[in-house]
Amino acid sequence: MGDEGQPNATLKEISEPVRIELDALESHFKDYLRTDVPVIDSIFQHLLDGGGKRFRPLLVLLVASCNNSIPPEDINRLAVAVEFIHTATLLHDDVVDQSDVRRGNRVAHHIWGAEPSVLAGDYLYSRAFSILVEIGHLGILQSMSTATTSMARGEVLQLLRSYSVATTIEEYIEVITGKTASLISGSCRAAGYLANFDDIVLKALEQYGLNLGLSFQIVDDILDYTAQKGVFGKTTGKDFLEGKVTLPVIILQEVLGSGSRREVADIFLKEAPDPDDFEKVREMMNQEGVFERTREIARQYSDKASAELAVFPKSDSRTSLEAMVKYVVYRKA
């Protein structure tokens, strides 16, 4: 057991039960995507070269590995499809947000343009579902289609609430449930279908993924203010500069006096907040203990995720799923 505030294991250690399968996914991504349109291959290769945690495919592999009788090709199909869906959202989000950096590299739309990037994202979505059809399981299709619908809804809600410091915690949770947690939850449930788990375990996996996803996004929103430059994989302060009102901002508004609340509101109402504004808000958050308050909420969701694993069969994969919970809360990138 590590010290409080430190993860029990690195992501590499967590993935050890499925290390061979996870490493093999890199070649499977290319095998399932090869097209006769070079720009699609180039855009996807650019994103692959940027690395990434492969967080969602790893969850699929860990859950599915509990049943050794599953055809390996079906596990690969689900893991690849999940990553394709996630990658498609990154391509679309970067265009919508006019981002500059993704996974430490220039975003695709700065290299190939907005139109090819959006269309490549569309292709990835379509390809993902064609791969899911190959598995031939209606429950898996339902899980993933529900997740993608929820993701789109969450992104629209976030856009509508940009620059609004009147956003409540409940509204924020509604947004991140859609845009982040739904895919993680749907992926865990879909992997549970592959592993032939009963309804009790399927529901537990769905709730595990939901709460893990909420914790993941809350920590992501802390890191937008606190991550060291060059570690986070995207520009620190990106969400702030785009006017996204995340949980640290909501909590800051709750603890400030009326005069300071007005000052923060005025900053978010600016047409173009600048780095000095970001530093001012970040300093307020430091002074008011906002980051620890926010992380405590992430811990609460992670505790809920851990509790759901009580019905999950004991195995090395379950141990990794438990370790994933603490990794998510205390990660630095």
Q: Tell me what pLDDT residue 3 has.
A: 42
CA angle 227/92/110 to nearest 5° reads 75
- The pLDDT tens digits of the residues spanning 205-260 come to 999 999 999 999 999 999 999 987 655 455 688 888 888 899 999 999 999 998 99
Query: How confident is the model over 270-281, as a mean pLDDT?
Result: 86
The answer to whether residue 4 scores a pLDDT higher than 60 is no
Single out the residue of 39, 55, 210 nearest to residue 124, CA to CA: 39
**In this structure, what are the phi and psi dihedrals at residue 214, rounded to the nearest 5 degrees?**
-65, -45
Q: Tell me what pLDDT residue 317 has.
A: 94
On the CB side of 254, CA atoms within 13 Å amount to 13
Single out the residue of 82, 49, 83, 99 nearest to residue 224, CA to CA: 99
For the chain, the domains span 11-330
Cβ pair 188, 264 in contact under 8 A: no
**Mean of all residue pLDDT scores within the chain:** 88
Weakest-pLDDT range from 20-34, 90-104, 228-242: 90-104
Q: What is the DSSP letter of 198?
A: -
CATH of domain 11-330: 1.10.600.10
The answer to whether residue 98 scores a pLDDT higher than 80 is no
Q: Tell me what pLDDT residue 5 has.
A: 46
Residue 287 identity (one-letter amino acid): Q
* Range list of H helices, the chain: 11-14, 19-33, 38-49, 55-64, 72-97, 108-111, 114-135, 138-160, 169-176, 182-194, 199-226, 238-241, 247-255, 258-269, 275-287, 290-308, 316-330
The answer to whether residue 143 scores a pLDDT higher than 90 is yes
Query: How confident is the model over 21-43, as a mean pLDDT?
Result: 87
The answer to whether residue 1 scores a pLDDT higher than 50 is no
| Separation of alpha carbons 116 and 243, rounded Å | 26
Q: Tell me what pLDDT residue 229 has.
A: 62
The answer to whether residue 103 scores a pLDDT higher than 70 is no
Q: Tell me what pLDDT residue 76 has.
A: 96
The answer to whether residue 193 scores a pLDDT higher than 50 is yes
The answer to whether residue 6 scores a pLDDT higher than 80 is no
- The pLDDT tens digits of the residues spanning 35-51 come to 888 888 887 877 777 66
- The pLDDT tens digits of the residues spanning 146-179 come to 999 999 999 999 888 888 888 999 999 999 999 9
| Separation of alpha carbons 153 and 149, rounded Å | 6
